[in-house]
Protein backbone atom coordinates (compact mmCIF):
# COMPACT_ATOMS: atom_id res chain seq x y z
CA UNK A 1 0.00 0.00 0.00
CA UNK A 2 2.85 2.39 0.74
CA UNK A 3 4.10 1.87 -2.81
CA UNK A 4 0.80 3.25 -4.08
CA UNK A 5 1.19 6.37 -1.98
CA UNK A 6 4.84 6.70 -3.03
CA UNK A 7 3.90 6.78 -6.72
CA UNK A 8 1.75 9.85 -6.17
CA UNK A 9 3.80 11.75 -3.58
CA UNK A 10 4.83 14.23 -6.27
CA UNK A 11 1.16 15.18 -6.63
CA UNK A 12 1.10 16.41 -3.03
CA UNK A 13 4.22 18.55 -3.50
CA UNK A 14 3.35 19.86 -6.97
CA UNK A 15 3.37 23.64 -7.23
CA UNK A 16 1.64 24.90 -10.36
CA UNK A 17 3.06 28.42 -10.16
CA UNK A 18 6.63 27.18 -9.76
CA UNK A 19 6.28 24.84 -12.74
CA UNK A 20 4.86 27.59 -14.93
CA UNK A 21 7.57 30.05 -13.89
CA UNK A 22 10.26 27.61 -15.04
CA UNK A 23 8.54 26.82 -18.34
CA UNK A 24 9.98 28.32 -21.52
CA UNK A 25 6.54 28.23 -23.12
CA UNK A 26 3.79 28.44 -20.45
CA UNK A 27 1.07 28.11 -23.10
CA UNK A 28 2.27 24.62 -24.07
CA UNK A 29 3.24 23.81 -20.51
CA UNK A 30 -0.25 24.44 -19.15
CA UNK A 31 -1.81 22.09 -21.72
CA UNK A 32 0.78 19.40 -21.08
CA UNK A 33 0.43 19.76 -17.32
CA UNK A 34 -3.35 19.44 -17.58
CA UNK A 35 -3.00 16.28 -19.67
CA UNK A 36 -0.58 14.82 -17.12
CA UNK A 37 -2.81 15.71 -14.17
CA UNK A 38 -5.92 14.26 -15.79
CA UNK A 39 -4.00 11.08 -16.50
CA UNK A 40 -2.80 11.01 -12.88
CA UNK A 41 -6.34 11.70 -11.68
CA UNK A 42 -7.64 8.59 -13.42
CA UNK A 43 -4.95 6.50 -11.68
CA UNK A 44 -5.53 8.16 -8.32
CA UNK A 45 -9.27 7.57 -8.57
CA UNK A 46 -8.72 3.88 -9.26
CA UNK A 47 -6.19 3.54 -6.41
CA UNK A 48 -8.35 5.57 -4.04
CA UNK A 49 -11.35 3.39 -4.77
CA UNK A 50 -9.27 0.25 -4.12
CA UNK A 51 -7.90 1.62 -0.84
CA UNK A 52 -11.34 2.74 0.33
CA UNK A 53 -12.70 -0.71 -0.50
CA UNK A 54 -9.89 -2.25 1.58
CA UNK A 55 -10.80 0.07 4.45
CA UNK A 56 -14.43 -0.99 4.27
CA UNK A 57 -13.48 -4.68 4.18
CA UNK A 58 -11.21 -4.31 7.22
CA UNK A 59 -13.92 -2.41 9.07
CA UNK A 60 -16.50 -5.07 8.22
CA UNK A 61 -14.21 -7.88 9.43
CA UNK A 62 -13.75 -6.07 12.74
CA UNK A 63 -17.50 -5.76 13.21
CA UNK A 64 -18.00 -9.42 12.31
CA UNK A 65 -15.30 -10.50 14.77
CA UNK A 66 -16.85 -8.40 17.53
CA UNK A 67 -20.24 -9.91 16.75
CA UNK A 68 -18.75 -13.43 16.96
CA UNK A 69 -17.17 -12.60 20.33
CA UNK A 70 -20.50 -11.38 21.68
CA UNK A 71 -22.14 -14.53 20.34
CA UNK A 72 -19.58 -16.79 22.07
CA UNK A 73 -20.13 -14.95 25.36
CA UNK A 74 -23.90 -15.32 24.96
CA UNK A 75 -23.55 -19.07 24.35
CA UNK A 76 -21.24 -19.40 27.35
CA UNK A 77 -23.90 -17.77 29.54
CA UNK A 78 -26.58 -20.12 28.16
CA UNK A 79 -24.31 -23.14 28.82
CA UNK A 80 -23.77 -22.08 32.43
CA UNK A 81 -27.50 -21.56 32.88
CA UNK A 82 -27.98 -25.09 31.59
CA UNK A 83 -25.36 -26.36 34.04
CA UNK A 84 -22.86 -27.25 31.29
CA UNK A 85 -19.69 -25.56 32.53
CA UNK A 86 -17.52 -27.53 30.08
CA UNK A 87 -19.46 -26.14 27.13
CA UNK A 88 -19.25 -22.64 28.61
CA UNK A 89 -15.47 -23.00 28.89
CA UNK A 90 -15.22 -23.93 25.17
CA UNK A 91 -17.29 -20.91 24.16
CA UNK A 92 -15.07 -18.62 26.25
CA UNK A 93 -11.92 -20.17 24.77
CA UNK A 94 -13.25 -19.36 21.31
CA UNK A 95 -14.01 -15.82 22.47
CA UNK A 96 -10.40 -15.42 23.68
CA UNK A 97 -9.14 -16.61 20.29
CA UNK A 98 -11.40 -14.10 18.59
CA UNK A 99 -10.01 -11.32 20.80
CA UNK A 100 -6.51 -11.94 19.41
CA UNK A 101 -7.91 -11.93 15.90
CA UNK A 102 -9.81 -8.70 16.60
CA UNK A 103 -6.62 -6.99 17.73
CA UNK A 104 -4.96 -7.83 14.41
CA UNK A 105 -8.03 -6.79 12.42
CA UNK A 106 -8.23 -3.47 14.23
CA UNK A 107 -4.58 -2.75 13.44
CA UNK A 108 -5.16 -3.61 9.77
CA UNK A 109 -8.28 -1.44 9.78
CA UNK A 110 -6.32 1.52 11.20
CA UNK A 111 -3.67 1.20 8.49
CA UNK A 112 -6.35 0.92 5.80
CA UNK A 113 -8.13 4.00 7.16
CA UNK A 114 -4.87 6.00 7.16
CA UNK A 115 -4.08 4.96 3.60
CA UNK A 116 -7.59 5.79 2.46
CA UNK A 117 -7.39 9.24 4.07
CA UNK A 118 -4.08 9.96 2.34
CA UNK A 119 -5.40 8.79 -1.02
CA UNK A 120 -8.55 10.89 -0.63
CA UNK A 121 -6.36 13.88 0.25
CA UNK A 122 -4.26 13.36 -2.88
CA UNK A 123 -7.38 12.92 -4.97
CA UNK A 124 -8.95 16.11 -3.63
CA UNK A 125 -5.75 18.11 -4.15
CA UNK A 126 -5.39 16.87 -7.70
CA UNK A 127 -9.01 17.76 -8.48
CA UNK A 128 -8.45 21.21 -6.95
CA UNK A 129 -5.23 21.76 -8.96
CA UNK A 130 -6.94 20.74 -12.18
CA UNK A 131 -9.83 23.09 -11.46
CA UNK A 132 -7.45 25.95 -10.69
CA UNK A 133 -5.39 25.40 -13.81
CA UNK A 134 -8.47 25.06 -16.00
CA UNK A 135 -9.74 28.37 -14.64
CA UNK A 136 -6.39 30.06 -15.29
CA UNK A 137 -5.64 28.40 -18.64
CA UNK A 138 -7.27 31.01 -20.87
CA UNK A 139 -5.76 33.87 -18.85
CA UNK A 140 -2.29 32.31 -19.07
CA UNK A 141 -2.61 31.79 -22.82
CA UNK A 142 -3.89 35.34 -23.34
CA UNK A 143 -1.00 36.82 -21.35
CA UNK A 144 1.48 34.65 -23.24
CA UNK A 145 0.07 35.83 -26.58
CA UNK A 146 0.40 39.47 -25.47
CA UNK A 147 3.97 38.85 -24.33
CA UNK A 148 4.93 37.29 -27.68
CA UNK A 149 3.28 40.17 -29.55
CA UNK A 150 5.21 42.68 -27.45
CA UNK A 151 8.41 40.76 -28.14
CA UNK A 152 7.79 40.95 -31.90
CA UNK A 153 7.01 44.65 -31.62
CA UNK A 154 10.26 45.22 -29.74
CA UNK A 155 12.18 43.49 -32.52
CA UNK A 156 10.40 45.56 -35.17
CA UNK A 157 11.11 48.71 -33.16
CA UNK A 158 14.79 47.84 -33.12
CA UNK A 159 14.70 47.35 -36.90
CA UNK A 160 12.97 50.71 -37.43
CA UNK A 161 15.54 52.39 -35.20
CA UNK A 162 18.31 50.84 -37.28
CA UNK A 163 16.62 52.06 -40.48
CA UNK A 164 16.32 55.57 -39.06
CA UNK A 165 20.02 55.57 -38.30
CA UNK A 166 20.75 54.46 -41.86
CA UNK A 167 18.53 57.22 -43.26
CA UNK A 168 20.27 59.76 -41.06
CA UNK A 169 23.67 58.59 -42.30
CA UNK A 170 22.40 58.78 -45.90
CA UNK A 171 21.24 62.33 -45.31
CA UNK A 172 24.65 63.33 -44.01
CA UNK A 173 26.30 61.84 -47.09
CA UNK A 174 23.86 63.71 -49.35
CA UNK A 175 24.67 67.01 -47.60
CA UNK A 176 28.37 66.30 -48.06
CA UNK A 177 27.89 65.67 -51.80
CA UNK A 178 25.83 68.85 -52.22
CA UNK A 179 28.49 70.87 -50.44
CA UNK A 180 31.21 69.46 -52.67
CA UNK A 181 29.15 70.24 -55.78
CA UNK A 182 28.55 73.82 -54.67
CA UNK A 183 32.27 74.26 -54.04
CA UNK A 184 33.12 72.83 -57.48
CA UNK A 185 30.65 75.17 -59.20
CA UNK A 186 32.04 78.17 -57.31
CA UNK A 187 35.61 77.24 -58.29
CA UNK A 188 34.59 76.85 -61.95
CA UNK A 189 33.02 80.32 -61.90
CA UNK A 190 36.16 81.84 -60.40
CA UNK A 191 38.40 80.10 -62.95
CA UNK A 192 36.44 81.33 -66.03
CA UNK A 193 37.83 84.44 -68.03
CA UNK A 194 36.12 87.82 -67.51
CA UNK A 195 33.45 88.49 -70.13
CA UNK A 196 33.96 91.54 -72.43
CA UNK A 197 30.59 93.11 -73.32
CA UNK A 198 31.96 95.99 -75.45
CA UNK A 199 32.15 93.91 -78.61
CA UNK A 200 28.45 93.07 -78.45
CA UNK A 201 27.64 96.68 -77.70
CA UNK A 202 29.57 98.10 -80.71
CA UNK A 203 28.04 95.51 -83.00
CA UNK A 204 24.63 96.78 -82.01
CA UNK A 205 25.42 100.28 -83.11
CA UNK A 206 27.37 99.22 -86.16
CA UNK A 207 24.31 97.46 -87.44
CA UNK A 208 22.14 100.45 -86.69
CA UNK A 209 24.54 102.85 -88.59
CA UNK A 210 24.68 100.68 -91.69
CA UNK A 211 20.93 100.54 -91.88
CA UNK A 212 20.65 104.37 -91.69
CA UNK A 213 23.10 104.88 -94.61
CA UNK A 214 21.17 102.46 -96.73
CA UNK A 215 17.98 104.35 -96.05
CA UNK A 216 19.54 107.69 -96.98
CA UNK A 217 20.98 106.20 -100.19
CA UNK A 218 17.60 104.92 -101.27
CA UNK A 219 15.99 108.26 -100.55
CA UNK A 220 18.62 110.07 -102.63
CA UNK A 221 18.09 107.79 -105.60
CA UNK A 222 14.39 108.37 -105.43
CA UNK A 223 14.87 112.14 -105.46
CA UNK A 224 17.15 111.98 -108.53
CA UNK A 225 14.54 110.08 -110.43
CA UNK A 226 11.94 112.73 -109.69
CA UNK A 227 14.23 115.49 -110.90
CA UNK A 228 14.59 113.89 -114.32
Residue 15: is its pLDDT beyond 70?
no
- The arithmetic mean of pLDDT across residues 121-133, rounded, is 82
Contact 133, 37 (CB under 8 A): yes
Identify whether the C-beta of residue 133 lies closer than 8 Å to the C-beta of residue 89. no
Residues 6 or more apart whose CB falls under 8 angstroms from that of 5 comprise 115, 118, 119, 122
Could you tell me the end-to-end alpha-carbon distance of the chain, in angstroms, rounded to an integer?
A: 162
Residue 73 has pLDDT above 70, yes or no: yes
Q: Is the pLDDT of residue 1 over 50?
A: no
pLDDT at 94: 93
Collect all residues with Cβ–Cβ distance below 8 Å to 29 and sequence separation of at least 6: 19, 20, 23
With pLDDT > 90 as the criterion, what percentage of the chain qualifies?
18
Contact 116, 52 (CB under 8 A): yes
* Banded pLDDT at 144 (limits 50, 70, 90): low
SS3 content of the chain, % helix, strand, coil (to 5): 95, 0, 5
State pLDDT tens for residues 152-205: 777 665 555 555 565 666 667 777 777 877 777 777 766 665 566 666 666 666
Residue-wise pLDDT for 17-69, tens only, equals 555 566 566 667 777 777 877 887 888 888 888 888 888 999 999 999 999 99
Amino acid sequence: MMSIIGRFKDIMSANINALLDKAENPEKMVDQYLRNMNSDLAKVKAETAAVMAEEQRAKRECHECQADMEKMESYAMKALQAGNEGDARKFLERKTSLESKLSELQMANQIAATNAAQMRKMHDKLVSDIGELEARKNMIKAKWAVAKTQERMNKLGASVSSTSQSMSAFGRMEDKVNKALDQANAMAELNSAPQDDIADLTAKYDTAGSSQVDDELAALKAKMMLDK
